[in-house]
Amino acid sequence: METGQPLPKINPENGKPFPVQLDDQKLAETLDPLSFDVLRRAGTEVAFTGKYYESETIGVYRCKACNAELFRSETKFHSGCGWPSFYAPTEKDAVILLEDRSLAPRIRTEVRCASCGSHLGHVFEGEGYAVPTDQ
């Protein structure tokens, strides 16, 4: 179930390698196929089906590929979009935001793990969420 090309190992924001370099072949052996597709090929799980969509567990959400700390439960909210939603990362530099033109002419903002470059999802803005950032 491959939906896209392998993600680059270079951070497009600064042209440097991501701090954590993953061996995608080894990662594919340890992750379930859907997780690998989402994280390393920018795939998408079916909305409203993911393990963390309705989770109310208090704690830290980490990158499934490299274990980097990404989000805290205090910033998780119900957006109604079908995927877990957070209005802020644990640290500003925990994630990177990239322009995504894969659905051109529509331009989206992709969210990736700043440590390993794995795909985490997309930012939705201006949809009236009652959160500090409206994202």
pLDDT of residue 4: 65
Residue 3 domain flag: no
Query: How many domains would you assign to the chain?
Result: 1
Global pTM reads 0.87
CATH number, residue 101: 2.170.150.20
Q: Contact 11/17 with Cβ under 8 angstroms?
A: yes
Strands 85-86 and 95-103: unpaired
CA distances to 1, 46, 63, 105 from 72, in Å: 30, 23, 12, 33
Higher pLDDT, 33 or 5: 33
Residue 45 domain flag: yes
Percent of the chain clearing pLDDT 90 (strictly above): 61
Q: Contact 50/41 with Cβ under 8 angstroms?
A: no
pLDDT of residue 135: 57
pLDDT tens for 99-134 read 888 888 888 899 999 999 999 999 877 666 666 765
Residue 76 domain flag: yes
Higher pLDDT, 58 or 127: 58
Residue 5 domain flag: no
Q: In degrees, to the nearest 5, what angle opens at C-alpha 105 toward C-alphas 108 and 95?
A: 15
Q: Mean pLDDT throughout 49-73?
A: 95
Nearest to 18 by CA among 91, 120, 88, 112: 112
Residue 115 domain flag: yes
The residue to which tokens 């994280």 are assigned: 39
Which structural domain range is residue 41 located in? 24-123
Residue 102 domain flag: yes
Residue 133 domain flag: no
- What does pLDDT average to over the chain? 89
Residue 64 domain flag: yes
